[in-house]
Structure formats: C-alpha cells, structure tokens
C-alpha cells in the first residue's frame, strides 16, 4: 500500500500533476452478461483491492510508480438508451487516451468493451487508421468468436469476432476451453487467428511443451499490440466471482508469464491493454484482488518496456481533462442491439 494512500486511485498512489504516463480507465459496462452478473461493480472493486497490492515489482526492481505518473480517470458513465449508443459512448470516452502520448489500461466491465477500444485505437500513431497493423493478444476461457449470442452480435461473447470484423490484423488466444462448433471452425479456417487451447497448455502430459510454444509465439510478435485479459482465462478457483468462471484455466503465474512475454517481445510495442470481466463477491475479495495484481503487472511491464526503449511516448501531456473524437460507429451498424 502507498504510504500516502489516495482513495479512488489505482494502487492508492497520489498523482504527481506533472504529466500522465499511464492512465487507468474504469469501464463499469454491463449490458450483455449471460450467466453471472456484477461486472458493472468490477472496476471500482478492483481499484479498492489494488490498495492492498505490494508496490515493489521484482522485474523493475523498484516500487511503483517507479518515477512515472499514473492517473486514475473518472469512471465512464453510460447514459445511452440502448447497447449500441453505450458502445459509442465507450469509444468516445476512450478516444482521448489513445493518441500515443499515454499508455491506456482499461478495467472492465464485460468483454464487450473490446470493440470500442479497437475503434479508439485507430487514431493511435502506430495504427494510423489501419487496424490491420494491430495484433490482439487475448487471455480468455472463451473464444468470443460467436456471430451472436441471444440475437446480439455485440454480446461479450462476440468481442473478438467484432474486432476481427473491424479489421484487426491478428488474434492470438490462450486459455480457450469453452467455445462452439462455429467458433472452432472459424479458428481452424482463419489465418489471422492462432489459438492455444487450455486442453493443451494445461495438459498433465504435454502441457509444458505447449506452454513453451505459446511463449515462443509471443516472443516473435512484431508491431503494435493490444493485450486483452478476460480474467476468466485464469482457473475458476482464482476468479470465482467472474461472470463465467470455467475450471481448467491458466494458473496465476502463467498469466504473469504471458504479460511479461508480450511486453518483452523485442520487435513489438504494447500500446494498450484491458483487464475485464471483473466482478466481486461479498464473502471473498480474491477475484478483484487477482485482477488488481494482473493490472499492476501490466503497468510494471509497460514501464519496464519503456525504460528498455520498446515504448516511445509521442509526448508527455499534462492534460487529464481531454476531449477526443466522437464515436458513431456502433449506432451505424445494422442488426440487433436494442436493449
């Protein structure tokens, strides 16, 4: 815990006021959850739990913020009358933080936050309007490649599918162990998708070999990368309050190794990240605390990559109140989304 704890700030850290290096963006979005509920409360619970996370990072070998300024933005407030309007509001909220002068880390909220994040990243200098340059690395129990769920193409179960529709160049998945036949066929037939199934990486007999192959895949990443961590990618015992906990997932240390490997890839630059499907349970804080530890490792790994020259900040803005592009992409899409 920070010696000068500030309530409402991630890790309880005070803000320096002399610039923003990392912005934590709480997205309490929950409109399409299909099993357990509570992701709207997840970001606030994660921030509260983060006050108990140790600030020392063994890779940085110093305490956070390690000379950086970490700003916790006011939480997104959804006011739109239906799902697509709220997706547009998410895109508008994220837009000011995706210009390359700061590292944005979103806390969700259901995984439906991913397509608005992709929209906002189009303005990033490393993307320059072409999402085909972007690789998304996804930790998840679910493939999220459904055409629709309960008639809704922008369901949390379709987040990766809609991101591919928007034009991302490559999708790397790990932890996947709950998916449909349609999703299995898409994975098998789309060269943009590389999936490491949990049945392989967690196998008692061949798991070590599959896990090494995953880490090798990450070391060969190139270009801009977005890291999306659905916490149900971890074993359900670590995140029991998440909306759809699934047994047989990644261990905590496998998730940490994945974060480290993505940020350490010599030819890649991680430009943004999110930790999503956070929820809380009144009898145990382990879910939100696990999420807070993962988010903390993302920040520490980003700062390490910056120190080592793999992240080049476009400028160091002092602005914490910003305006960006207004998103209308989602309301212009056809199909369902009338909730």
Q: Give the model confidence (pLDDT) of 57-99 as tens digits.
A: 999 999 999 999 999 999 999 888 888 999 999 999 999 999 9
Distance CA 106, CA 219 (A): 24
Across the chain, what does the average pLDDT equal?
92
Q: Is residue 296 over pLDDT 80?
A: yes
Q: Provide the pLDDT for residue 314.
A: 67
Q: Provide the pLDDT for residue 316.
A: 62
Q: How is residue 82 annotated by DSSP?
A: S
Q: Is residue 107 over pLDDT 60?
A: yes
| Confidence band for 335, pLDDT divided at 50, 70 and 90 | low
Distance CA 115, CA 11 (A): 27
Q: Per the structure block, which two tokens stand in for 335? A: 């199909």
The domains located in the chain, with CATH, are 22-307 (3.40.800.10)
DSSP codes, 125-175: TTTTT-GGG-EEEEE-SB----S-BTTBTTSGGGHHHHHHHTT-SEEEEEE
Q: Provide the pLDDT for residue 156.
A: 85
| Confidence band for 263, pLDDT divided at 50, 70 and 90 | very high
Distance CA 180, CA 155 (A): 15
On the 0-12 / 13-18 / 19+ scale of CB atoms within 10 A, 269 is middle
pTM of the model: 0.94
Distance CA 27, CA 68 (A): 23
Q: Is residue 4 over pLDDT 70?
A: yes
| Confidence band for 102, pLDDT divided at 50, 70 and 90 | very high
Distance CA 297, CA 48 (A): 16
Q: Provide the sign of the torsion angle of the four alpha carbons 314, 120, 233, 42, taken in this order.
A: positive
Q: Provide the pLDDT for residue 328.
A: 95
- Cα 56 versus chain centre, distance: 22
Least confident of 168-182, 244-258, 306-320: 306-320
Distance CA 61, CA 68 (A): 14
Q: Provide the pLDDT for residue 109.
A: 87
| Confidence band for 282, pLDDT divided at 50, 70 and 90 | confident
Q: Per the structure block, which two tokens stand in for 271? A: 């430009």
Q: Is residue 248 over pLDDT 80?
A: yes
Distance CA 25, CA 15 (A): 15
Q: Provide the pLDDT for residue 336.
A: 45
Distance CA 124, CA 126 (A): 5
Q: List helix spans (H) across 166-323.
A: 181-189, 198-201, 207-219, 252-264, 286-307
- Cβ count near 165 (within 10 Å): 13
């Amino acid at each position: 815990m920070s010696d000068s704890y500030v309530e409402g700030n991630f890790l309880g850290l005070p803000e320096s006021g002399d610039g923003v290096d990392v912005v934590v963006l709480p997205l309490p979005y929950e409109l399409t959850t299909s099993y357990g509920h509570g992701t709207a409360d997840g970001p606030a619970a994660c921030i509260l739990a983060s006050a108990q996370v140790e600030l020392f990072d063994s890779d940085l070998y110093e305490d956070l913020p390690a000379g950086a300024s970490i700003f916790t933005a006011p939480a997104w407030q959804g006011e739109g009358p239906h799902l697509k309007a709220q997706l547009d509001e998410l895109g508008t909220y994220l837009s000011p933080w995706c210009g390359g002068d700061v590292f944005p880390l979103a806390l969700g909220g259901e995984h439906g936050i991913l397509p608005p994040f992709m929209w906002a990243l189009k303005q990033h200098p490393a993307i320059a309007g072409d999402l085909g340059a972007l690789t998304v690395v996804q930790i998840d129990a679910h493939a999220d490649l459904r055409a629709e769920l309960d008639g809704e193409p922008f369901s949390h179960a379709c987040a990766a599918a809609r991101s591919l529709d928007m034009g991302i160049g490559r999708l790397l998945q790990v932890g996947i162990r709950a998916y449909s036949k349609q999703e299995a066929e898409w994975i098998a037939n789309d060269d943009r998708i590389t999936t490491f199934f949990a049945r392989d990486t967690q196998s008692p007999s061949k798991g070590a070999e599959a896990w090494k192959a995953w880490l090798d895949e990450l070391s060969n990443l190139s270009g801009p990368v977005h890291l999306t961590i659905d916490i149900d990618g971890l074993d359900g015992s670590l995140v029991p309050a998440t909306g759809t906990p699934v047994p047989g997932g990644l261990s905590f240390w496998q998730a940490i190794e994945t974060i480290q490997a993505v940020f350490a890839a010599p030819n890649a630059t991680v430009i943004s990240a999110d930790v999503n499907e956070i929820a809380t349970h009144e009898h145990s804080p382990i879910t939100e605390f696990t999420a807070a530890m993962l988010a903390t490792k993302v920040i520490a790994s980003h700062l390490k990559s910056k120190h080592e020259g793999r992240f080049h900040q476009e400028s160091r803005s002092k602005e914490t109140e910003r305006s960006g592009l207004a998103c209308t992409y989602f309301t212009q899409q056809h199909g369902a989304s009338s909730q």
